[in-house]
Amino acid sequence: MYKSAVAGPSKEMLRKVPLFAGLDDRELSEIAASMKERDVSAGETVLEQGAGGAGFFVVEQGEAEVTVDGKPRGTIGPGDYFGEIALLTGSDRTASVTALTDMVCYGMTSWDFKPLVESNSTIAWKLLTAMAQKLH
């Protein structure tokens, strides 16, 4: 269940996320302002492989397992992010993410993300560079 966060994620937390590491304070504040808090219960499937997806998430607290075709691919925890492929391409989810513990995440939808990068070429370029490094 989504709920509005009073302040969103901190700039310090976002700065630790490799995708946002190159952004300055103003850019991080813009990203943070567009994100909403999501509390996830242990055992809950956050994302399901093959399902449509419009959200990108950054983990503040807790841990989740990532699976592809039912096979474990690792775990994610504080400072990690997921859902960026669907956020950027609008494609179906490429993996499932299931909470191993209670989690606090901050999410951003594509309809919040797209205007942010369209109106700020610096953010767009830095995110593009970070994505390319992740794929490399």
Q: pLDDT (tens digit, 9 = 90+) per residue, 84-101?
A: 777 777 788 889 999 999
Domain ranges of the chain: 7-135
CA atoms within 13 A on the CB side of 34: 20
Residue 59, judged by CB atoms within 10 A of its CB (0-12, 13-18, 19+), counts as buried
User: Is the model's pTM score more than 0.85?
Assistant: no
Does domain 7-135 match CATH 2.60.120.10? yes
Q: How does pLDDT run across 119-128, given as a tens digit for each residue? A: 878 877 877 7
d(CA 96, CA 65): 8
The alpha carbon of 127 is separated from its chain's Cα centroid by a whole number of angstroms, namely 12
* 3-state class (DSSP) for residue 105: strand
